[in-house]
Structure 1
Amino acid sequence: MVLVGPFAYVLEGKQRPSLSFSVAAKIFVLALFGTTIHLNVYYAGLAYTSPTVACALSNVIPSLTFLMAVLLGLEKLKIRTARGQAKVAGTLFCIGGSLVFTFWKGGYLFKGFVKRPLINISVGEMGHVKENWIKGALLILTSHIAWSAWLILQAVVSKVYTA
């Protein structure tokens, strides 16, 4: 029987590995990226833009994670294979599509199908327009970069400290 989770060590009677200063520092950085930076920057970005932009930009997290893993050498990209080309094409389409949707602020994309723009600027409680689209989108994109770093650091920390 295979036990999974935090109780596996207790139920199987195994000893936890020692928690060194290096491992504790990695866990601290992991917590810093995962909850602190990601959520605070995300909510700051929402103050400048709409939830529609936040949802559109959330689609870049898998692509950003893939790019960071390739840059850090955790993922090997074989560009000559069909699988490698599909990864690159998917990454470009994902990031490009999210950014086009986020920064599209003009006329209608399909005038016959919709009666209003895809993205509307939201008005706050006091009637002030929260219009700093670029700043809000960049803050949300920064928060998603922090979340992607958290996902990658989880793999690194779990190799060092398996508990």
Structure 2
Amino acid sequence: MDEAKNEEGCLDRWKPAVAMVLVQISTTGMILLSKVVISDGMFIFSLLTYRSLFGALFILPFALFFESGAWKKLERNSLCWISINAFLGYAVPMGLYYYGLHDTTSSYSVIFLNLIPIATYILALIFRMETLGLCSLPGNMKIVGTLGCFGGTLLVSLYKGRVLHLWHAIIRKHQVKTEPSHVNQLHASLLLAGSCFTFACWYLLQSKVLKVYPYKYWSSMLTCLLGGLQTGVVAIILKRDEKSWHLGWDLQLLTVIYSVKRLTVLSV
């Protein structure tokens, strides 16, 4: 009995770390696929709309099964916070990130994700949601982790190596621009930095959303739904061409499905 309890306790302790690793792996795959389809001409906001609405449909059965009566407890105040959550956590940061990804490479854009923990920690200190804790082990670990993220980002951004062509036989017909100009890279860097800052604000906003509506599946489903509606409105305003909404049985559909899987990992 004691051994079983110890094993269960060990699994509970490692569960958050394993979940974060899975999120990072799925994020990397999403960025690679998104870069290919965006460079191939797919309209960014139609991609964001499809992946968000498909994600809402995919999460809905989990919400109905695990939190069957939670939708009755949804109030106007909760819906307002979830709408803000969708705007700051999906529509704005993903729009900025994908446009930044369009003007640079996937290997360059992915390193900006390491800036999110730094910005989150600094904002949490500013708003007194975290304490510096220089004399405690958790505080020192947060500082070391922040410096590690910054150092890793700086190292990868300055390192120049060979270009690797993985799975070239699969995506060889998609002509991806691998060396953007300096002007485009500066513009992309600003967009990516803005995306990371918005993501940091979104992480802080989660605590408020969970207080007003503590149901993660319904909250995730509504966030996806409202985020899809928001990006859909922007897509209609920017481009009313029917071809921009075309989705065939190709890499574009695979990217949308893979992105739905990532949204599910985040919600669980």
TM-score (norm 1): 0.69
1:6 partner SS: helix
Instruction: Give yes or no for contact 1:53–1:137 (8 Å, CA) kept in 2.
Output: no
The residue that corresponds to 1:114 in the other structure is none
Which runs of structure 2 are paired with 1:17-96 in the superposition (5 Å)? Answer: 17-20=73-76, 22-96=77-151
Deviations 1:2-54 (A, max 9, x none): xxx523342xx67843512x332211110001111111100111233211111
Instruction: Give yes or no for contact 2:92–2:198 (8 Å, CA) kept in 1.
Output: yes
Decide whether aligned partners of structure 1 residues 16 and 56 sit closer, same or farther in structure 2, where only a CA change above 3 A counts: same
The residue that corresponds to 2:202 in the other structure is 150
Instruction: Return 5+ residue gaps in structure 2 as ranges.
Output: 1-61, 164-174, 216-268
Tell me, in whole angstroms, the C-alpha distance in 2 between the residues paired with 1:77 and 1:100. Answer: 26
Quick one: percent identity of the two aligned structures? 25
The residue that corresponds to 1:131 in the other structure is 182
Instruction: Give yes or no for contact 2:103–2:180 (8 Å, CA) kept in 1.
Output: no
Instruction: Give yes or no for contact 1:42–1:143 (8 Å, CA) kept in 2.
Output: yes
Q: Which amino acid aligns with 1:118?
A: G
Q: Which amino acid aligns with 1:162?
A: P
Judging by fraction of residues, say which structure has more helix.
Answer: 2
Instruction: Give yes or no for contact 1:34–1:147 (8 Å, CA) kept in 2.
Output: yes
| Alpha-carbon distance, 1:78 to partner | 1.1
User: Please, what is the CA RMSD of the aligned residues?
Assistant: 2.9
Deviations 1:46-79 (A, max 9, x none): 2332111111222222333233222222223312
The residue that corresponds to 1:6 in the other structure is 63
TM-score (norm 2): 0.45
